[in-house]
């Protein structure tokens, strides 16, 4: 009733059945749209978790933020936000909503960097403008005011001139990596910390919904993306 939104539930798995299913968090407010749920979770080392919730398609790609109660830049909702929760669904920091960060469009990958509580997120932009972000507490990642993506208008060239809000995130957090001018629709995210491929330890891996591919992203000591490679063995499956 009242629309739809991202929700988080917990249960015990018994055989193939879920028992004691309990919804512990719901995105607010519910909206009529059926897109951009986000809906990724990542666990911290302290037993709390992050939920990356999408902006539900409520913002158009204009570079202007809505001022009503569903606007992403409105601090009174969990639209286009990452929230930090305890395992019972209550805010981990004791605030009313548990908002960790804001300005997100459609997070489709989330991972905590091994040995830390750093949250990394991949999210879909509009045409072009997909992002990899290091998501820090209290920071704003710019949507819908800034994006390296472009409006959904096939008549316009996909170059820097069409980037929403000019692209560069002045006043907001710059993404660590972007996919332009063509979207890859990143989905899923993980850090590799195994032993079989030592040269890849610490690298970030992201799948993609835009074609059959897997991205390997190398970070430097400051957390900046210094190179990006498509894994050929995966890409060839397409």
Q: Which residues are catalytic?
A: 36
E strand segments, the chain: 7-14, 17-26, 38-43, 49-53, 81-85, 99-102, 107-112, 119-123, 130-135, 139-140, 177-179, 186-191, 204-208, 213-219, 225-230
Go through the chain and tell me how many residues it has. Answer: 238
Q: What's the half-sphere exposure (Cβ side, CA atoms, 13 Å) at 45?
A: 7
Tell me which residue of 154, 157, 50 sits closest to 104, measured CA to CA.
50
* DSSP bridge pairs for 18: 13
The Cα–Cα gap between 155 and 139 comes to: 34
- 94's CB contacts (< 8 A; 6+ apart) are none
The Cα–Cα gap between 129 and 107 comes to: 13
CB–CB of 59/143 below 8 Å? Answer: yes
CB–CB of 33/57 below 8 Å? Answer: yes
């Amino acid at each position: 009733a009242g629309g739809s939104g991202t929700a988080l539930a917990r249960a015990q798995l018994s055989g193939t059945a879920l028992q004691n299913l309990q919804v512990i968090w719901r995105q607010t407010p519910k909206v009529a749209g059926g897109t951009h749920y986000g809906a990724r979770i990542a666990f911290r080392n302290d037993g709390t978790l992050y939920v990356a919730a999408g902006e539900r398609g409520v913002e158009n790609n204009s570079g202007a933020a809505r001022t009503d109660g569903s606007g992403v830049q409105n601090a009174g909702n969990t639209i286009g936000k990452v929230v930090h929760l305890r395992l019972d669904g209550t805010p981990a920091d004791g605030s009313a909503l548990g908002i960790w960060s804001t300005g997100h469009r459609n997070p489709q990958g989330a991972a905590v960097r091994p040995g830390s509580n750093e949250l990394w997120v991949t999210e879909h932009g509009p045409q072009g403008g997909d992002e990899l972000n290091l998501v820090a507490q209290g920071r704003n990642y710019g949507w819908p005011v800034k994006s390296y993506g472009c409006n959904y208008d096939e008549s316009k060239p996909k170059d820097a001139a069409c980037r929403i809000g000019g692209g560069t995130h002045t006043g907001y957090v710059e993404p660590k990596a972007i996919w332009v001018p063509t979207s890859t629709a990143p989905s899923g995210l993980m850090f590799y910390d195994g032993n079989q491929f030592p040269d890849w330890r610490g690298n970030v891996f992201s799948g993609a919904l835009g074609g059959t591919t897997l991205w390997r992203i190398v970070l430097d000591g400051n957390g900046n993306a210094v190179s990006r490679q498509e894994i050929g063995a995966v890409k060839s499956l397409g």
